[in-house]
Structure 1
């Protein structure tokens, strides 16, 4: 039985690795190029299995790749389970840094997603107070997309900061069945598994409030919902991207509230290195600048 449980845990971890409460805020000594910022495997592993230790070590927060410029739009990248900001090196390399300032959010992927959302909101508020950054575009992968939606819905937690665009990639809006199995059978359970289990209270809270009313994204936020659908050669069962099912990524309510929906014939991790995604990101950012210019006095 112990061997079966070990195999189960390993399978769950490997599944999310394919895609792949902390201290909020930013630190001036961390403002540098992404290639110089250290997000070692040990910290990623600690964030998954020992999020409390991750928090005490103050490893998380928002990191800018260049010194923040007041009133200039920031593009914030949020990684997925068992991931790190290094996952976005390709997309950041294709970002127009003459117009946008990239920054990344590093968090414990094993922690409660609602807590990670609160920490991110606090960090965005700190960026606004310290550097007068008033606009943030969010690009998020996998469970990072869930955290991002949570943040966008709770505008009061980061008052004064506009989020005109939310781009999510391969997010499991409908949950992940294997996470529920892990919660029931594994002797070691991380909080984020509970949050992404199908039918969890957390997933429900992203679309319905405590009184049972539908929660809508702010009208001023355009949500680009990107999904991936390339299965591995060994994949069986539902259509998916070798990690998350297409059905979960295309939850009906999430689709209905999206500004645009795009599918990519790539796997869960390959979407982070897709030139098509990079081009779409550039198009979305440019159209946002144009739209903001048209409404400016």
Structure 2
């Protein structure tokens, strides 16, 4: 097997590892902001794969956007969940089921995880703006897994990207702040290159921009946002090399600047995907959310 082909399969295995899949269903288009349960056909495995390998087709079919898991209800704090590469909103089923739905309004952001993360960030900004205009939402909490955390940090570093919407808490799980060397190999050697691989490759310009601006000055998260940084460290029985969670290295998850800017850092002896179905993680999220003041602005219909 050639170096290029071997690197390609290494990256593919890494991006697929631990991600949940569901059976394919029929196509469905829709608005960028809508009400939808987790069983929405947009979130099928076929559409997940399309988002990785054919993001332009995914966009043309209007698969992505922000979706209310429950119909909007007044005076509930919006909690926005952002999945990782090769993932979908269904990955958050466990955490959403453990939310106090009498006080918190779960929403999910579905996107083509093969797209450049900059483009995904622009889409997210547009959708949050629509939430603000259509539903009078002025505050929300973000819960993000894996590269979803990178996208969320990018959003927070640009106040104009969420104008009129305060984000008091960023709750990230197993995010590769320091990037992934295997993604760099894939971007260099694979016969088919996914744009998001370039962004998460260790040392990429995108990752650099999350911590340093164009003038070379450090970029800090807003003082009004508390970042809860959760990392995972259980390796599979066949894992070798750096300590990690079978997908992302601990060193990447604990990138020094990300740690320094975090409000709290918590480690969990689980794999990259198991962190999404861990009871202790659900309890920590519940405690974090209940520490926030009750929503004072009604969610519009």
Please give the TM-score of this superposition, normalised by the length of structure 1: 0.92
Give 2:102's aligned residue. Answer: 98
- Per-residue CA deviation, residues 69-128 of structure 1 (Å, 9 max, x unaligned), is 456321000000101000000000000110010000000111000110111011001001
Secondary structure, aligned partner of 2:129: helix
Work out the CA distance in 1 between the residues paired with 2:225 and 2:163. 15
Give 1:237's aligned residue. Answer: 241
- Kindly tell me the number of residue pairs found equivalent between the two proteins: 287
Q: In the superposition, relative to structure 1, how do residues 188 and 38 fare at CA in structure 2: closer, same or farther (>3 Å)? A: closer
Answering whether residue 31 of structure 2 is matched by residue 32 of structure 1, we say no
Work out the CA distance in 1 between the residues paired with 2:161 and 2:178. 25
* Cα offset, 1:184, TM superposition: 1.3
Give 2:131's aligned residue. Answer: 127
What is the alpha-carbon root mean square deviation over aligned residues?
Answer: 1.8
1:65 to 61, 64, 69: 69
Answering whether residue 155 of structure 2 is matched by residue 151 of structure 1, we say yes
Answering whether residue 217 of structure 2 is matched by residue 213 of structure 1, we say yes
Give 2:26's aligned residue. Answer: none
Answering whether residue 179 of structure 2 is matched by residue 175 of structure 1, we say yes
Give 1:54's aligned residue. Answer: 58
Which runs of structure 1 show a deviation greater than 6 angstroms over 4 or more consecutive aligned residues? none
Work out the CA distance in 1 between the residues paired with 2:42 and 2:71. 17
2:280 to 276, 279, 287: 276
Please give the TM-score of this superposition, normalised by the length of structure 2: 0.91
- Per-residue CA deviation, residues 31-64 of structure 1 (Å, 9 max, x unaligned), is 1332345411110001001111111111000010
Asked if the contact 1:77–1:138 (Cα under 8 Å) also holds between the matched residues in 2, the reply is yes
Identify, as 1 or 2, the structure richer in helix.
1
Work out the CA distance in 2 between the residues paired with 1:24 and 1:283. 34
Give 1:18's aligned residue. Answer: 17
Give 1:164's aligned residue. Answer: 168
Secondary structure, aligned partner of 2:43: coil
Asked if the contact 1:135–1:162 (Cα under 8 Å) also holds between the matched residues in 2, the reply is yes
Secondary structure, aligned partner of 1:74: strand
Asked if the contact 1:64–1:102 (Cα under 8 Å) also holds between the matched residues in 2, the reply is yes
2:89 to 85, 88, 93: 85
Work out the CA distance in 2 between the residues paired with 1:67 and 1:283. 24
- Per-residue CA deviation, residues 139-172 of structure 1 (Å, 9 max, x unaligned), is 0000011001011111112211010000000000
Asked if the contact 1:19–1:142 (Cα under 8 Å) also holds between the matched residues in 2, the reply is no
Answer with 93-102 or 10-19: which moved more.
10-19
Asked if the contact 1:25–1:124 (Cα under 8 Å) also holds between the matched residues in 2, the reply is no
Give 1:41's aligned residue. Answer: 45
Q: Which of 1 and 2 has higher RCO (CA within 8 Å, sep 6+)?
A: 2
Secondary structure, aligned partner of 1:54: helix
Q: In the superposition, relative to structure 1, how do residues 25 and 195 fare at CA in structure 2: closer, same or farther (>3 Å)? A: farther
Work out the CA distance in 1 between the residues paired with 2:30 and 2:261. 29
Give 2:144's aligned residue. Answer: 140
